Chain A
Amino acid sequence: MTTATELSRRNTRRFMIGALLVAATAFVVIAAGGINKNLVYYWTPTDLYANGDKAYGATIRLGGMVAPGSVKNRVGVSGVDFDVKDAGRVVHVKSNGVPPQMFRENIGVVVEGTMTRNGYFQCNRLMVSHNNEYRAPKGGHPMNKEELEKLMRTTEGLKD
């Protein structure tokens, strides 16, 4: 091969490598920042309290049981208020919008939203487990952490 093609090959390669390096660096910085800002935490009510101030403003998937006697449908407008609890703690949740068909007391739910400084959890997405194998425990027996984690994993919201 002649030196000319050898040279052009090197030029091409240098161009490629340079472009790749610049792009890769910019990309890593942007992607890391983007991921960091948009993490969704899967927490139980106990986890939520344990994380303290971090809960305010962060996107959280809160998994727990709907506490018996806590469900209050709003009058006139769509929306529902209820408490989500695990073995230890209770979080008050306000959800705008119409709850799904399966929603009721004593059922495992996953609510996505954030903790407000007014002491309640603002829910943007209310999900009831669609997993066929999973059955909500009877009689309001609080689920343990393992069960709740499984619930959060297997519940996928069907709503934006």
Chain B
Amino acid sequence: MNALLGRLLILASLLVSSTGAILAFAAGAKKSLDGLKWARRFAFAFSACMALATLVMEYALLTHDFTVSYVAQVGSRSVPTWVTIVSLWSSLEGSILFWGFVLGVYIAGATWLTRNEHIEYMAYAIGTWLTCGTFFGFLIAGPASPFNTVPAVPDGPGPNPLLQNHLLMIIHPPMLYLGYVGMTIPFGFATAALLRGRLGLAFLKPLRNALLLPWIFLTIAIMLGGWWAYEVLGWGGYWAWDPVENASLLPWLTATAALHSAIVMERRGVLKGWTVTLVQASFLLTILGTFMTRSGVFNSVHSFTQSSIGPTILVFLSFILVGSIVLLAKRIDLLEAEGRIDGAFSREAMFLFNNLVFVLITFTVLIGTCFPLIVEAIKGKQMSVGRPYFDSMVVPAGAALIFLLGIGPALPWGRVNKEHAMRSLLPPIAGGVIAAALGYAFGARNAWTLVTLLFGGYAAWVTLAEMWRPVAQRMRSGESILDATSQAQWKRGRRRFGSYVIHAGAVIVIIAIAVSSTMRTSHEVTLKKGGSAEIHGYTARFRGIETRVEPHRTATIAVVDVVRDGRVITTLEPRMNQYAMMREPIGTPAVYSTLTGDLYLSVMNLDPSTETAGLLLLYTPMVGWIWYAVLLMGLGGVIALIPVRRVYAMTPEPVRVATPFVAGEGAGAPQS
């Protein structure tokens, strides 16, 4: 029953999105207002179908309807309810359905928010979104159908235990989807601009906001993925240049570049085609990422999601890629530049360098990730690209980024007066020197870490100075510090303030990555009951092995007292979790976090009969800063996104449309 209902809803969504897409493109070409109205209705209908289908799936999961294929695959009566709810995205078919749901929400939201605006572009944008909707509807209806009817089984195996093992797994996938799927919206806007052959200043706002929202989600999702790996996988790191991690990073890099070039576009009227290209690339990379993670071409920690949908995604990817390239090649010249870039030493030039570095990192990661695939396809030999490649390429690029992050905002727009430039460029050097000296005092000897600290201190100084500047200006004209702050940062300059909050977060993240990856100490020991090992001033005393039976798993735990200065400060319980449906136990580390660093204990093996434990002890400085600073970046994004209630002295866009939109003309779906 649920299976049938789900299938019908998915078929309806497929029908609605394909019809709506054709209708929307026709309305765009004919400039028909009625057609646009109908395209909007179809967009809402698509969202409704996807939402209902997802609800049906959740209902089937919660009622343990094992006649639905997906429920039979991931459901289990023995897991807690929260696990049942989140198992919607624990395996391939469900996560694609969830993808469709998120896409529906985004399309409905974007269609609603633009209901009175940008008529010129919207039909094409909706057409593009619904084309993507059609593709995902097709995936859910066919190759990745979660709604097949199967003979009922008494109980299912439950979702992959790695996912049940940690709470972060509830939020990481939805965040990632919100980021990934959200890139469809700016892609639609960019495609619309290309199809219309113009990109006016007024249309920049929705484009940039549509980019910023998924960017926030993606930023947080990448961090959550790293944090999860750190808390769960037990090797003590958070990033391994795994193809799947790279897949989430690639669109983030191009989207970040696009957010920056959009600012140059707004201020100077240049880089229109470039920004549009970056937006297209971000979307393409999300689809490529989906292909990497969902097709099983790469096998990694995420290999539990492999299936045969690869070819379908590859076809869609090629279709979008060729379409985007053709469209860019034909239309990019129509996106006229209205200004120019003055000199190689202005703020806008720094934006350009920033873009170059981001694109270089994108290519570095893309090549390193795809190279083994290509070799295997051609020569049939298995290999992979080792971590040192990524590190050796990305570390200098990261240092360049944090350098630009400092120097860019310190420089004024346009032509630069030398004296003025020196006045803003020189003082922050003090910040850099302080940071580097502090790092050296705390034992940093790695050259790249010291360079990062130097640039990071510089950038931090500049960022704080730029946050302070508008407040100081207002205070000089007699406002109190509170008034000045709320006016400058919140009521008026909110977007600017949000950007600098993001920058502050980014500075902390880059420094924390540099410090945590070069200054950690590790120690592998085999301890007998009562034995102890030392690391970074802590003593880990192994108290013995405990076995604990929990509803859905049995845990074998190494109980370890952490002693500092003769006092037990905490007890850590790294463990092996044995799930009912799994052959092998899964190790789960235990972490003692402090402001300065984390003590991390991971179980290599446990032998209850002899009461011995093989333990990995790690001390990683500053690692916790990464998670919180990324949240700060997300907060900055939200601040920048909240609309400012302020009357813009905006000149209306000159209407250059040959034929205006007219109601009643060319309405209805074209006959095929």
Residues in chain A within 8 A of chain B (CB atoms): 1, 5, 8-9, 11-12, 15-16, 19-20, 23, 27, 30-31, 34-35, 37-42, 59, 61, 78, 96-103, 130-132, 135, 149, 152-154, 156-160
A30 touches B393 (CB 8 A): yes
Shortest C-beta distance, A74 to chain B (Å), equals 10
Instruction: Tell me if B525 and A27 are in contact (CB < 8 A).
Output: no
In this complex, what residue of B is CB-closest to A27?
B360
Question: Which DSSP category, helix, strand, loop or mixed, fits chain B's interface?
Answer: mixed
By the criterion CB–CB under 8 Å, are B364 and A31 in contact?
yes
Nearest B-chain residue to A41, judged by Cβ: B383
Complex Cα gap A19–B355 (Å): 11
Any chain A CB within 8 A of the CB of B139?
A: no
CA distance A102 to B368 in the complex (A): 31
Report the minimum CB–CB distance from B225 to chain A (whole Å): 15
The yes or no answer to B672 lying at the interface (CB within 8 A) is: no
B158 within 8 A of A: no
List chain B residues, Cβ under 8 A from A27.
Answer: 360, 363-364
User: Do the beta carbons of A15 and B344 come within 8 Å of each other?
Assistant: yes
Which of B235, B301, B303, B616 has the largest number of chain A CB atoms within 10 A?
B303
Contact mask B608-651 → A, CB, 8 Å, 1/0? 00000011100000000000000000000000000000000000
List, in ascending order, chain B residues with CB within 8 A of A16's CB: 274, 352
Task: Verify if B388 is at the interface (C-beta below 8 Å from A).
Answer: yes
A27-B360, A42-B384, A101-B587 as given contacts; A153 in contact with B299, CB under 8 Å: yes
Query: Once the chains bind, are B614 and A78 in contact (CB under 8 Å)?
Result: yes
Nearest CB in chain A: distance from B515 CB, A: 17
CB<8 Å pairs between A and B, sample of 9:
A9-B270, A12-B340, A34-B393, A37-B389, A42-B381, A98-B605, A103-B605, A153-B299, A157-B235
**CB atoms of A9 and B605 under 8 A apart:** no
* Residue numbers in A under 8 Å from B605 (CB-CB): 98-101, 103
Chain A residues whose CB sits within 8 angstroms of the CB of B587 once the complex forms? 100-101, 158
Report the bound CA distance from A152 to B383 in whole Å: 10
Which chain A residues lie closer than 8 Å to B363 at the CB level?
Answer: 27, 31
Partner of A101, one of B233, B270, B603: B603
Further 12 A-B residue pairs, CB within 8 A, beyond A12-B341, A99-B604, A160-B236: A1-B336, A15-B341, A27-B360, A39-B386, A78-B525, A99-B614, A100-B587, A101-B605, A130-B584, A131-B303, A132-B584, A154-B303
A-B interface, 4 closest residue pairs, ranked by CB to CB distance from nearest: A98-B614, A8-B340, A42-B382, A38-B389
Complex CA–CA separation, A5 to B303 (angstroms): 53
Contact B235 A19 (CB under 8 A): no
Q: Does B524 contact A (CB under 8 A)?
A: yes
Q: How far is the CB of A3 from chain B (nearest CB, A)?
A: 13
* Whole-angstrom CA separation of A38 from B371 in the bound complex: 12
Q: Are B360 and A40 in contact (CB under 8 A)?
A: no
B386 touching A38, Cβ below 8 Å: yes
Nearest CB in chain B: distance from A68 CB, A: 19
Give residues 232-276 of B contacting A (CB, 8 Å): 233-237, 240, 242, 270, 274
B235: contacting residue among A15, A102, A135, A158, CB under 8 A: A158
Complex partner residue of A35 from B299, B360, B371, B526, CB under 8 angstroms: B371
Q: Which of A20, A61, A160 has the most CB of B within 10 A?
A: A160
Closest Cβ of chain B to A105, distance in Å, is: 15
Q: Decide if A156 touches B303 in the complex (CB within 8 Å).
A: yes
Chain B 49-92 interface residues, beta-carbon cutoff 8 Å to A: none
Q: Are A31 and B393 in contact (CB under 8 A)?
A: yes
**Measured between C-beta atoms, what is the minimum distance from A143 to chain B in Å?**
15
Partner among A42, A99, A100, A158 whose Cβ is within 8 Å of the Cβ of B383: A42
Contact, CB under 8 Å: B526 / A12: no
Contact with B526, one of A34, A37, A98, A160 (Cβ below 8 angstroms): A98
Given contacts A5-B340, A132-B583, contact A156 B300 (CB under 8 A): yes
A23-B360, A38-B389 known; A152+B382 contact, CB < 8 A = yes
| Contact partners of B389 in chain A: CB under 8 A | 34-35, 37-38
Q: How far is the CA of A39 from the CA of B386 in the complex (A)?
A: 6
CB distance from B558 to the nearest CB of A (A): 11
Contact B616 A38 (CB under 8 A): no
Q: Answer yes or no: B385 CB below 8 A from chain A CBs.
A: yes
Contacts of A8 in B (CB 8 A): 337, 339-340
Complex interface: chain B residues within 8 A of A158 (CB): 233-235, 301, 587
A36 closest partner in B (C-beta): B389
A96 and B393 alpha carbons, distance in the complex (Å): 29
B596 close to A (CB within 8 Å):
no
Q: How far is the CA of A24 from the CA of B576 in the complex (A)?
A: 48
Q: How near does chain B come to A16, taking the closest CB pair, in angstroms?
A: 7
Question: Are A100 and B386 in contact (CB-based, < 8 A)?
Answer: no
A100 to chain B, nearest CB (A): 6
Supposing A101-B603, A103-B605 touch, asked if A19 and B615 sit within 8 A by C-beta, the answer is: no
CB distance from A54 to the nearest CB of B (A): 12
Contact A40 B584 (CB under 8 A): no
- Min C-beta distance of A120 to chain B, whole Å: 20
Tell me, in angstroms, the Cα distance from A101 to B575 when the chains sit together. 11
Contact A149 B337 (CB under 8 A): no
Q: Which residues of chain B have C-beta atoms less than 8 A from A11's C-beta?
A: 340
From 461 to 504 in chain B, residues with beta carbon under 8 angstroms from any chain A beta carbon are none
Which residues of the partner chain A approach B360 to less than 8 Å between Cβ atoms?
Answer: 23, 27
Chain B residues 265-301 with CB under 8 Å of chain A are: 270, 274, 299-301
Q: Which residues does chain A contribute within 8 Å of B299, judged by CB atoms?
A: 153-154, 156
Taking a contact as CB atoms closer than 8 A, the residue among A31, A130, A152 that contacts B367 in the complex is A31
In the complex, chain A residues whose CB is within 8 Å of the CB of B385: 35, 38-40
Q: What's the minimum C-beta distance from B82 to chain A, rounded to whole angstroms?
A: 22
B659 at the interface (CB under 8 A from A): no
Give Cα distance in the complex from A131 to B583, angstroms: 10
In the assembled complex, the Cα of A59 lies from the Cα of B385 at a distance in Å of 10
A16-B341 Cα distance, complex, nearest whole Å:
10
Given A156-B300, A158-B235, A160-B235: A149 in contact with B382 (beta carbons within 8 A):
yes
Give B604's nearest chain A residue, CB to CB: A98
Residues of chain B lying within 8 A (CB to CB) of residue A34? 368, 389, 392-393
Docked-complex contact A23 and B356, CB < 8 angstroms: yes
Which residues of chain A are near B582, meaning CB under 8 Å? 132
Per the bound structure, the CA–CA distance linking A131 and B386 in Å amounts to 22
Evaluate contact between B233 and A98: CB separation under 8 angstroms: no
In the bound complex, how far is the Cα of B339 from the Cα of A1, in angstroms?
11
Min CB gap B392→A, angstroms: 6
Q: A125 — nearest CB in chain B belongs to which residue?
A: B235
Cross-chain contact of A78 among B270, B336, B364, B526 (Cβ < 8 A): B526
Closest residue on chain A to residue B344 by CB atoms: A15
Interchain CA distance A106-B584 in the complex, whole Å: 16
Residues of chain B contacted by A39 (CB below 8 angstroms): 383-386
Residues of A contacting B392 in the complex (Cβ-Cβ under 8 angstroms): 34, 38
